[in-house]
Every structure is written in C-alpha cells, then in structure tokens.
Amino acid sequence: MRFKFMLLLLVLLLSNTFYNLNAQTDSLFIKGIPRVIHYTKKDFQGSTQFWTVCQDEEGVLYFGNNDGALVFDGQIWHKVSLPNNSSIRSLKVSSRGIVYAGGFNELGVIKKDSFGKYFYESLLNLIPIEDRNFENIWQIHEAQGHMVFRSFKMLIAIANNTAKTLPANRSYTFSISFDNKLFVQDEEGIKSLDLRSLSFTHLFNQDQFNGEELITLIPGVALDEVLAITKQGSFYRINLNNRSTTLWQKLLTEKSNDLVTCAIRSSSGSIYIGTLRSKVISLDANGYRISTGATFSGLQDNTVHNLFESSEGNIWAVLNNGIDCIDVKSPVSLLFEDASIYDVLPYKNKIYIATNQGVFVSTPVSGKTVLTKERFVNLNSLRGQAWSLQKFEDQLLCSHDKGIFVISDKGVSKLPGVQGIWKIIPIKGETNQYLACSYHGLFLLSYDSKAGFKVVHKIEGFDESCRDILQSEAPGVFWVCHGYKGVFKIKIDAALKRIVGVEHFKDQNGLPSPFNINVTRWNDEIVFTTNAGIYTYDAAKNKFLLHHFLTSLFGKELNVRRLFQYSDKTWFAHDNEVGYFKTNEEKPELQKDLFLQLKGSFNPSMECIVPLNQKNILVGTTTGLYAFDLSYNASARNAKTMITSASFKEDQSENTSMLDIATTHVTKLPHKSNNIIFHFSTPAFQNKLNVQYSYWLEGADNKWSDWSEASFREYNLLSAGSYIFHVKSRSLLGEKGTEAIYRFEILPAWYQSSWAIAFYIIIGGATIFFTILLVKRRIRREKEKTLREEREKRRVLELEIERMKLAGEKEKILKDKEQLEEDVIYKSKELVNYTTLLVKKRELLIEMQDQLKELKDAVKNESSRQSVRELLKKINGNLQNEEHIKVFEANFERVHHDFFTKLKANFPDLTQKELQLCAFVRMNLTNKEIASILNLSVRGIETARYRLRKRLGMSHEEDMSAFLEKLHSTPDGFGEFAELSV
C-alpha cells in the first residue's frame, strides 16, 4: 500500500514537473528592444532642431522646426515655410482634419493642393492689428468648437473665421485640452476657460504644485483622477471633483540637473517621459517600474523636445538634433546582435544561443521579458563555432566545432574523443543511446545516470559529413543528405559498431540532382527537399517520387531548405525567406509577409526557427536573434496607398508640368507628352522603412510589376490612347496598402484628331469615286484591246500547242529509249551477279569433288565406290560445261560494250581467251576466281596474265586493272599504248 502511494506521488510530481515546463514555455513571451529609426539632416534636408509633431488622417506626419514645417508622407520630405520664415513651435490636427500651425507672430493652416504640393495659408488677417504681436505660439488646442493658440502673451481662439484674443495678466505658461475642456496655467495657478463667455474658473493654486511648472496632464491610474507632471519631474494626482492634489512620486532627484520636457500616455497605457538630458524614460501603465535602460539608449540626442504617438502606435521623439521613431508596436524586436545565430534553446528559465562566436546565455526570464544583448553572457569555455543546443536526459548538450560539451549549473565540461560535431540524435529503439553527427561520420554516445554522457566509439564504414540525418522506420536505417554528394541510405548493425550497408543516390532513381537535398519528417512521412520540388522515397520501386501536395504548395523554382511542424503550423525556410502555413488546411497559404525584412539573412540549410509557443517565435539570422509576435494582425489597419504627385514633360522641353492628382476624371495630356512620372507613398504603415510597391499601367503593361522599394514610376514615349495607372503597397511587416489609381489619356496628334480623320474620309471618298470612274473607262478601253490581243494570242497559242505536242512525242520516244537501255543494263548487271554466284557454286563443286575423291579411296565397299564415281562424273561434267562462260561474255559485252570496243580497237590481235581474261581483270577478280570460272589452274592464269602483259605492252611494275580502267575511261581510246603495241 505504501509502495503504491509512493508510486502515485512520484507520478504526480513528474506530471506536475512536465506541466510546469510546458506552462513555462507556453506563458513565456520574449521581446527584444524596439527598433529606433533615425532621421537626420541627410533625410529631411532642413534644420535639425525640432519642436513639435502631429499627424493627419492619411497618416502624413508634420514636424515643426526652425525652418518651418517638414511634411513626411512616408517617402518624401516636403518643406513648408511661414511668410516671415519663422520657426514652427506648435502643430495640431483638428477633428475636421485641418492642420494648424503656429510660429512667431504667425498662425495659420497647412494645406495640400490638388497637385500634391503642400503650402501654408495664414489666418493672421482674422486677428486685430493691435493683437498681432503675440510672439511664439507654443501650443494649439481644440475645445468647445474653437481652435485655441497659446503664446506667453495671450490666448487666441478662432471659430467660424472669427478670432477672439484674451491677453495674459503676466504669462500663460501652460495649457491643455482635456475632455473638451481647456485648462490654462498662469502665475496664479491652473484655471479652466469657458470659450463661449471667455471667463476663467480657478481650480488649483500654484502652491498646490509646490510652485513647479506643469508640463502636461494625462489620464491617471484611477478613473476619476488626472496625473499632472511638472518640469521638475514630480507626479501629482489631481481629483477634479474635489480639486485636491497629492504628490505621488518624483521622477527626478532634488539635485538632478535634468528637467522633464514632455510626457504622453500611449494607447497601450505606458507613460513616456521626454527629458532635457536623459532621453526618454518609460513607465508602465500604473506609473511604476521606471526604466532608463537600453530601450531608448539608441536615441541620437539626449534632449527630447516633444513626444508623439502616431496612429500606428509608434512613438516619435522630436529632438534638439534630429527625429527618432521608436517602433514600440512592431511585432519584431531585436534580442541579440553582432553574431550569426545557429540555434536557440530555452532551458531552466534561461535562453541559450549557439553562434559563430560561441554560446551565450541570458539572465533568468519568466512571463513577459524584455531581453537585450546586455543580458547575455558569453560562456568562455565555449568560444568559437557552436552549431546546436539540445536537451537530453535533462542535460544541456552543445554540439561544437571543438566537440561535445555538457552545460550545467556547475559549469561546462567537454566529452573527450570527438571533434567537429554538428548535432546529436537519439536512436529509436535503443535506451540511452545516441548518435553524435560529426564532420566525418558518426559516433556512438551513451548515457549513464551516474557517469553521465560518454563517447563510446566511432561507427566504422561511413566517413561523410552527417549534418543532415534522419532515422527511418526500419531498424538501424538512416538517411544522410550531403549538400554536394546527394543522399546516402545507411544501415548500422545491431551492435552499433559499423555500417553494414550504404546506398548512394545522386541524380538517378528520380532525384533531379545531387545538390542541396535535405531530409525531414512531415506528417509522419520522410520527405526530401531539392532544388526542383519535394520528394518521397518508394522502397518497392527504389525510386524518389514527387510529393504532389508539398510541391504544388511551394513550386519547383525555389528550394525548401527547412521544414518542420509545431502545433498546428508547418514552419519552413523557402530559399531566402521563412514562414509558415496551417498544416491541416485543405488549401493552405504560405505566410511569409511578417518575416520579409529578414529575407536573405539566414544561414543556408541551418536556418534557426524556434517557436516558444503559439504566439512567440525566435528567428536567428547572420546578424542576430529576433523575436516575432504572431498575434500581430497586419490586416487590422487600413493603410491607404496614395499617389502623391504626377508630372510630365512635353516633347524635349525641360519644364515639368504637374498634374491634378485629386481629380477623379480622366486627365488629358498633349500628344507629345513623354517622361510621365508618378510618385506614391503609404504614410499610414507602421513600418515606414523598406515599403515595397507594385504597379501596373493598364493599356501598356501586361501584368503587375515585381515588388520594389522604388516609390516612383516613369513612363516614356507612350502612344496616344487611354491609360489607368494602378499602384499598391506592402510593408515588411505584412501590412498591405489599398490600391490607388490614376486615369489619363494621351491625345492624338492634330493629324490623328477626329476632325482630321473626318477630312481624310471625305477626301478619301471623293478620290475613290473619281478613281472608280477613271478605272471603269480605262477598263473598257483595255477590255477592247484585250479582246483583240486575245484573238491573236489564241492563234499563236494553237500553233505553239501543236509544236509542243510534237516535241512531247519526241521527248517521250527518247525517254522510252533511255528506259529500255537502262532496263537492258540493269538486267545485264543482274546476269553478271548471277554468273558470279555460279562461280561460287563451281568452287563448291570443286571442293566437293576433292572431298569425294578422298572418300572414294577411303570407302571399302564397291557399291559405295561406284556411287562416288558417278557423283564425281556428274560434278566433272558440270565443271566442264562452259555455258556460263558464254552467258558471262554476252552479258559483259552488253554491260561494258564500250570497254570491248576500245580494247579491240587498240589491240586488234587479242584472242578471245585474252579478251575474256581482260574482262575478268577489269572486274577485279582474283586469279583464283578467274581459274574457277575458266576451269584452269591458278598457275595457268598467272602464265596467261604474263603473256597478256606482253601483248598489251605493259611493264612489270604496272597494275593491269588500273591499266584497263584507264583504257575504259579514256574518251579517244588508248592511243599511247596502241602505239607501243604496234
């Protein structure tokens, strides 16, 4: 009973341990520092000292600085100057979307005309002349239907094109609009102002804030309170109902020489404080946990003049020297930089990173943690190239260029006996047995609860690199993929000592090539990713077959280098991009947009993708480690793609004509318009860097262009016609901008206009009419002439036909004659071939005669001898028959009649036998063949040839066959030899 209880307790403890581990990972949310985007004078080409910022409904940002206003549409900076060239100290966008600006003795609105050009329109004419010396406008508010401009000297309220001024007793030092109420601070304290009656209501005395100057009021922690923040860094809780104030906390020490310059509460509830010397200080929603760490240390200047939260959730800091955008809402943050990341592993409340510089470990993490590079420490004994981090037997193992290391709370220890290890894999079906995959083969690794891990021995018989390895279902069978050598299928013996079988696959058995093949397991299938699709292995056919689902999903153009499943998602590295798709969807879509900004920065075939849970994923690159928040919904925001300007040049003119981009009608352009340029932007994107555009000119282009970061498109030499320009956008966070269009028409030249075409039709019609008349008259004349000529031609033709008939008959006779001659020659050649076959038969008969003579002597029986004699007699009679010689001579003369004619003409004394011999020599027959035909001995033929040489007057060295061939080919006989013979 006790044993059962202890067993149950142990199971519960283990289950609780596993639950805690899973719960820790599931609840863990790692975030790095937000990216800080710097904008410098090189970007905006203006004064570097900024004072204020606002944003209109389209997402366009307006910055006030010493040069006036700088308007940023996400791509281009536009400068707007005031009439007196003063600086702009205040900006405000009203509820109607109007941008108000205030400078030194100047106030008005910033507008954009229909051509996309920003300009300033002064409202100074609404103010009485005697009140126009109000100096700098420091703040602008909207309250009670008025726009209120505050300077130290006075308040100016404008509504319905009417201005009211309210001078200060001494100085208005602060003002703010809150819940449609306007609060103003002067030397007496804080008051509320009724703009309809221009009457003040005193709320708080100055001593309630210890004489400190207010910077802003923000919503408090409680529902019925407001937080007042002073320049000296004090936080006061204000109850507007009972008008009480309580000092809550001091942000700056009494002796601090720093000052608070601005403060905002963001939409997430966090409080951001701008300072004179300490950049930006952040507080949580409750106002606690003040952080001045690395989060905002990257600002390019210490003095923050103002803070602003844009509609996308970015925090913009306008500085004494430049502008910074703090991308706090980005789903991407940087955890670790300046190293190439190969693996990441959360282990015992810490994050371990394997890099090209060694292994780094973080300080303890839990819940929602912000990690920065400063929170990581490099383990000294693991410096150098670390490849992977794995947890086995509740121990952390590091596969390193130097070997295998065990990492524990006590330190780092190295396992002796190995070098250059990629990773470690467990062996299925074996307890506490592992394979260490090295640069040159496999090592057996075993574990003992007392002794720990130990390298047992090298598994002999395979020395290839084993970085990419996967065990199959068959016992002891592993797949090993080599980046350059193809795929190996190896089998390890039961004793785990040596390789007993190796199959090597290159570009045979169905694989497209031996390069860039990786093996992985997906949906319980072993799949092989290649440069031309994804394959599975059919053992029965010993062939690699295309995996149709995965290949149709990814295509064959790009390599899928990494593929693994986590929860309901399949993660992948697709060439230079990473992403995921829902595993069980019937028609899944590749989700890559969120990760596009890391494109091209991964370690090929060693991409580091580590999901912590359903929402949080870590991605390692060659530049560092990034955290991604998958709960980010890029499509939640409606970003508008805008055509910010359009222009054209006419013919060769250097002057640029701007086009109306606000019109919805078709813009008509002159015929000689060329160099048409469109500029576009998407200012409402959260990620304003690396915005990409795709465009299509309907009427000229066949399809949308590839995505590009170019924010303009130029068209040259367009022909006359109607066009529609389309442009859409996306950011590298997956945000997508709406499509913008612009319609225009290039008018035809004057000679292509409607009236010109009508004139052409009239002239053409008249020309055709008179032409028809002339042609008809000409036709009548020509017809009469043709009839006369036709009669004459008919007579000539009849004579010609008669002549042609005669010529045809003659030609037919000649052709028949030639055909007959060809038939005679062809048949003669057939007879020659037949005679040659008879010669072969005579040789056979002679051979049979010789054999029968031998047989006659060998046969003892008289009757058999008599039979042999009769056979010999028949064969001899056949041999003595010279009928084939006559047939041969007759046919030879018919085939080579010119030869005998020339031979007899040049050598008339030749006998018939000598003529026969010349014919045989002419046919290149050997002495043996001639002897067989003539039934003579070879010696007799040689003697006859010798005599024939003398009769022909040939020297001993001359070839008789060549001599006779020359005789046959000489047109006029063989005169020179005829003279010799004479």
* Contact (CB, 8 A) for 930 and 945: no
pLDDT of amino acid 128: 93
**Among 406, 402, 409, 363, CA closest to 386:** 402
CB of 137 closer than 8 Å to CB of 165: no
Residue 8 has pLDDT above 50, yes or no: no
pLDDT per position as a tens digit, 307-325: 999 998 899 999 999 999 9
Residue 414: CB atoms within 10 Å: 15
Question: Highest-confidence range of 752-756, 759-763, 912-916, by mean pLDDT?
Answer: 759-763
DSSP 8-state code for residue 686:
S
The 8 Å CB, 24+ separation contacts for 656-664 are 658/115, 658/116, 658/117, 659/115, 659/744, 660/114, 660/115, 661/114, 661/115, 661/116, 661/742, 662/114, 663/114
Check whether 890 has a pLDDT greater than 70.
no
Q: Can you tell me the mean pLDDT for 947-955?
A: 82
> What is the pLDDT, as a whole number, of residue 256?
83
Q: What percentage of the chain reaches a pLDDT higher than 70? A: 90
Provide Rg for the chain, Cα atoms.
Answer: 52
Contacts with 916 (C-beta within 8 Å, 6 or more apart), sequence order: 885, 889, 934
Judging by DSSP bridges, how do beta strands 61-65 and 50-55 pair with one another? antiparallel
Residues sharing a CB contact under 8 Å with residue 854, sequence separation 6 or more, in sequence order: none
pLDDT at residue 16, rounded to an integer: 38
Q: State the alpha helices, DSSP H only, in 859-953.
A: 862-880, 883-895, 897-906, 912-922, 927-934, 938-952
List the domains of the chain with CATH numbers: 472-605 (2.130.10.10), 636-752 (2.60.40.10)
Helix (H, G, I), strand (E, B) or coil at 235: strand
853 compared with 249, residue with greater pLDDT: 249
Residue-wise pLDDT for 528-554, tens only, equals: 999 999 999 999 999 999 999 999 999
Which among 292, 294, 271 is positioned nearest to 283, based on CA atoms? Answer: 271
Res 601 pLDDT > 60:
yes
Rounded-to-integer distance, Cα 518 and Cα 486, Å:
9
Q: What is the pLDDT of residue 20?
A: 39
Predicted pLDDT of residue 457: 95
pLDDT of residue 21: 38
Q: Which amino acid appears at position 91 of this protein?
A: L
Residue pLDDT, tens place only, 156-183? 999 999 999 999 999 999 999 988 899 9
Question: Is pLDDT of 704 > 90?
Answer: yes
More confident call, 603 vs 26:
603
Q: How confident is the model at residue 887 (pLDDT cuts 50, 70, 90)?
A: low
Instruction: Report the candidate in 970, 961, 967 with the shortest Cα–Cα distance to residue 925.
Output: 961
- CA–CA dist 347, 354 (Å, integer): 13
Which of the two residues, 973 and 726, has the higher pLDDT score?
Answer: 726
DSSP state of 524: T
Could you tell me which of 172, 183, 250, 245 has the C-alpha nearest to residue 208? 245
Average pLDDT on 686-690 reads 82
Query: How far is 362 from 379, CA to CA, in rounded Å?
Result: 11
Query: Which carries the bigger pLDDT value, residue 848 or residue 439?
Result: 439
The pLDDT of residue 347 is 93
Q: Rounded to an integer, what distance in angstroms lies between the CA atom of residue 624 and that of residue 289?
A: 28
Helix axes 912-922, 883-895, angle to 10 degrees: 60
Distance CA 494, CA 220 (A): 72
Confidence (pLDDT) at 977: 41
Range in 2-16, 34-48, 188-202 with the lowest mean pLDDT: 2-16
pLDDT confidence tier of residue 505, bands split at 50, 70 and 90: very high
pLDDT, the chain, mean: 86
CA 786 to chain CA centroid, nearest Å: 73
Least confident of 11-20, 548-557, 825-834: 11-20
pTM metric for this prediction: 0.70
Give the Cα separation of 506 and 285 in Å (integer): 61
pLDDT at 344: 96
pLDDT surpasses 50 at 512: yes
pLDDT at position 26: 67
In sequence order, which ranges of 63-220 are alpha helices (DSSP H)?
A: none
Residue 90 backbone class (left: φ over 0; alpha: ψ -120 to 50; beta: rest): beta
